[in-house]
Amino acid sequence: MNSIYAPNQLNDSFSAEESWEIHKAAYIKQLKSRGLPDNEIKKSMVTYEKNKEEFIARVKEQYRLAAIQRKKAFEQRALMQIEREKAAEHRKLAAVQRQKAEELRRLANLERKKAEEQRGKDTGQREKANELRKQAEIERAKAEEQRKLAEIQREKARAQRMKVQEWRDSAETILLKNITLSSHSDNNKPIAFKVTSKGSLKIGIRAHISLGNTLIEIYNPQGSKEGELSLKFNSKSGSDDDRDEVEFTSGALDKTISDTELGEWQIKISSQRSEGTVAMSVLQYIKPTIDE
């Protein structure tokens, strides 16, 4: 009997506990729609409730990460705005310097004309014109420097925009799923997911069983095994009263695969009279398009 938890699709106006209650109600409704007797529903709910703490923790973690991502995006936008304002200021300064240079060139031309008219009478005008030309060259150099600074600021702003976009696109959730294992149903149907772009794949699996044996295997599109997790439940000896307390066998598999193959991957669960749960997640980290 399967139950899909997808906290990444929940509205974060709900608390983690409210999200759990919503999924719990949906699960009970699903069990009833299958016509299961009350004792079977109660038995399934005992197993289902064991996932509560893990579910709530995962929802809270996703809310926390989402808040961090929003904060980072806000900070990056603020930095971009600052860089744009700096670039605009440098452009304004460059325009002022160009105007000064134009005015000084105009004055230099006037002085040259005066110098030509009074050549032989007053060499001081030529010297003044030369000085004005020198000042004009200095102002042109300043204007060019301001233009270069403005271009640098524009490049910084563009790099910040690319970093923000790269950060937003760096990771993608491909699969997030919980499976309830039952000795009364078929647990051997594979879970498939598609990889459509190159990047690093991170697969996380958590399993708890209270009965039977379970084997979980990861296969790439070529049919080659990339990893496995095997669990076998061994009940502790003791009286029937002692067995009223639920016992578990737990296991975890974390697998990171670089430069993943494109195509359909599969997670196969083979169980023999198993009772328990399997939680799995698959994230893909896309290779950056620029250097940090």
For the chain, how many residues are written? Answer: 292
Instruction: State residue 159's pLDDT score.
Output: 84
CA angle (22 as vertex; 15, 207 as ends), nearest 5: 90
Q: Other CB atoms closer than 10 Å to residue 172's CB: what's the count? A: 13
Q: Which two structure tokens, joined as six digits, stand for 63?
A: 């809310």
For the chain, list residues with pLDDT below 70.
1-12, 122, 163-169, 185-187, 236-246, 287-292
Whole-angstrom distance, CA of residue 292 vs CA of residue 2: 42
Instruction: State residue 242's pLDDT score.
Output: 52
Residues 207 and 29: beta-carbon distance below 8 Å: no
Contacts of 154 (CB under 8 A, 6+ apart): 83, 87
Instruction: State residue 118's pLDDT score.
Output: 81
Which backbone phi and psi does 13 adopt, to 5 degrees? -75, -15
CA of 230: how far to CAs of 80, 172, 223, in Å? 50, 28, 19
Instruction: State residue 186's pLDDT score.
Output: 66
Buried b (16+ CB within 10 A) or exposed e, 199-222: bebbbebbbbbbbbebbbbbbbee
β partners of residue 200:
285
> Could you read off the pLDDT of 210-245 as tens digits, one per residue?
998 999 999 999 999 999 999 998 876 555 555 555
Instruction: State residue 169's pLDDT score.
Output: 63
Residues 52 and 43: beta-carbon distance below 8 Å: no
Whole-angstrom distance, CA of residue 191 vs CA of residue 280: 10
Instruction: State residue 216's pLDDT score.
Output: 94
Gyration radius (Cα) of the chain, Å? 35
Residues 195 and 215: beta-carbon distance below 8 Å: no
Instruction: State residue 246's pLDDT score.
Output: 60
